[in-house]
Amino acid sequence: MAIKQRITPFLWFDGKAEEAADFYTSIFPNSRIKDISRYTEAGFEFHGQPAGTVMTVEFELDGMRCIALNGGPMFKFNEAISLMVTGETQAEVDYYWEKLTEGGDPAAQQCGWLKDKFGVSWQVVPSGLAEVLGNDDSEKADEAMDKMLTMKKLDMEALKSPE
């Protein structure tokens, strides 16, 4: 018997749930739109959405179940929550960085963090980052941290190499 995913990211959008799900599923392998539900006339006084408008989009990102809701303008994304993507190679880091920053906020890019065009915060990190920053040689760890703090997109080779 397969164990189902117990925890599902549920993302609140203002009218762009389907567009966001389409965008994300176009970036990550093993991704797809699974289901779209629509508002009905019931509850209009609470949700204010015309019948037929997309309510939720269930989608998978690299096999992880996610749900996007068109909930309205009341809530906005912020950096307190982010989705982290690990790149096994620098080419993967570069790919995810390029795709996710497209149309995003350039001012919100630092230390591998970015904000995409929907306001969702992401961290794009190279595999092995924790080991470099947690190096037993405290001088090397400090040097890597100092370098990282000056970067937007992370470059693993630069973080590993001596100055």
Q: Which tens digits make up the pLDDT trace of 74-112?
A: 999 999 999 999 999 999 999 999 999 999 999 999 999
Residues of the chain with CATH 3.10.180.10: 7-75, 77-163
Q: How far apart are CA 27 and CA 129, in angstroms?
A: 22
Mean pLDDT over all residues of the chain?
A: 94
Q: Which amino acid is at 113?
A: W
Q: Which tens digits make up the pLDDT trace of 39-83?
A: 999 988 888 899 999 999 999 999 999 999 999 999 999 999 999
Please check whether the domain covering 7-75 is classified as CATH 3.10.180.10. Answer: yes
Is the CB of residue 22 less than 8 Å from the CB of residue 29? no
Q: How far apart are CA 106 and CA 101, in angstroms?
A: 8
The CATH number given to 77-163 is: 3.10.180.10
**pLDDT value of residue 73:** 92
Helices (H) and strands (E) in the chain, counts: 6, 7
Q: DSSP string covering 30-47, please? A: S-EEEEEEE--STTHHHH
pLDDT at 2 > cutoff 70: no
Rounded alpha-carbon distances, angstroms, from residue 85 to 3, 21, 27, 35: 23, 16, 12, 24
**pLDDT value of residue 160:** 87
**pLDDT value of residue 123:** 97
Bridge partners of 65? 60
**pLDDT value of residue 5:** 87
pTM of the predicted model, to two decimals? 0.91
